[in-house]
């Protein structure tokens, strides 16, 4: 299975999942997630998936500091409706990292380890994506601004040709290269830009 080389340079994050520990799925419940895992989940690498990854990692670091984040003990709320724009894709990546799921998620064991109803959409009282620790009540809100990492202007016409079935192999290859270059810039070159992902405590 081959992925772009830059995937291996994107920092990973380790979380502790108490359910995984109890069920023997991970030693000590420790699970390391990489951006590649997010790509496998979504089936593609794009600015939305990259932005969701950065939001999740940034929020968890803000909430837990030097502690290991506890997967399954975090609530996630999005201001948009589930079927609005890219909200569903973003939520999928955040579920991967936090365990927070909608009504169809894991319902727990004897009242413990529940994951369902910890992911919500169309939350009117928030201005960004909110992640909250269930143990301390601490919350952060995150806002993503991808305008700081614009795409190559050739991507639009190239994609149009691809979707119309009129692109040559060279055009398809160029589009893929240009597309991934932007994703790489988001995740590596500009990941620490102060306005790319803004995180504030609430």
Query: Residue 63's pLDDT band (boundaries 50, 70, 90)?
Result: very high
Answer whether residue 108 shows pLDDT above 90.
Answer: yes
Beta carbons of 185 and 122 less than 8 angstroms apart? no
pLDDT in tens, 123-139: 999 999 999 999 999 99
Q: What does the pLDDT average to over 87-100?
A: 98
pLDDT in tens, 144-193: 999 989 999 999 999 999 999 999 999 999 999 999 999 999 999 999 99
Q: What does the pLDDT average to over 57-85?
A: 97
Answer whether residue 199 shows pLDDT above 80.
Answer: yes
Cα 156 to Cα 168: distance, rounded to the nearest angstrom: 15
The SS3 assignment for 60 reads helix
Cα 181 to Cα 152: distance, rounded to the nearest angstrom: 9
Closest by CA position to 151, among listed 190, 117, 112, 125: 190
Q: What does the pLDDT average to over 76-89?
A: 97
Cα 93 to Cα 48: distance, rounded to the nearest angstrom: 10
Query: Residue 1's pLDDT band (boundaries 50, 70, 90)?
Result: low
Q: What does the pLDDT average to over 56-64?
A: 98
Query: Residue 69's pLDDT band (boundaries 50, 70, 90)?
Result: very high
93 Cβ partners below 8 Å, 6+ apart? 38, 41, 42, 49, 52, 53, 56
CATH superfamily of 13-143+195-201: Tubulin/FtsZ, C-terminal domain (3.30.1330.20)
Closest by CA position to 135, among listed 64, 36, 77: 64
Cα 161 to Cα 165: distance, rounded to the nearest angstrom: 6
pLDDT in tens, 12-24: 999 999 999 999 9
């Amino acid at each position: 299975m081959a992925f772009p080389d830059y995937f291996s340079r994107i920092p990973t994050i380790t979380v502790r999942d108490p359910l995984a520990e109890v069920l023997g799925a991970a030693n000590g419940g420790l699970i390391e997630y990489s951006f590649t895992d997010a790509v496998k989940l979504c089936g593609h690498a794009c600015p939305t998936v990259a932005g969701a990854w950065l939001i999740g990692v940034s929020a968890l670091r803000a909430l837990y500091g030097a502690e290991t984040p506890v997967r399954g003990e975090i609530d996630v709320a999005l201001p948009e409706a589930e079927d609005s724009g890219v909200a569903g894709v973003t939520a999928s990546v955040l579920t991967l990292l936090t365990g927070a799921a909608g009504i169809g998620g894991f319902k727990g064991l004897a009242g413990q380890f529940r994951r369902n109803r910890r992911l919500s959409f169309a939350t009117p009282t928030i201005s960004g994506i909110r992640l909250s620790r269930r143990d301390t009540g601490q919350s952060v809100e995150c806002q993503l601004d991808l305008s700081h990492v614009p795409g190559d202007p050739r991507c639009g016409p190239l994609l149009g040709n691809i979707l119309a079935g009129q692109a040559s192999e060279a055009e398809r290859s160029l589009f893929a290269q240009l597309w991934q270059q932007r994703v790489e810039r988001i995740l590596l070159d500009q990941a620490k830009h102060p306005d790319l992902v803004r995180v504030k405590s609430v």
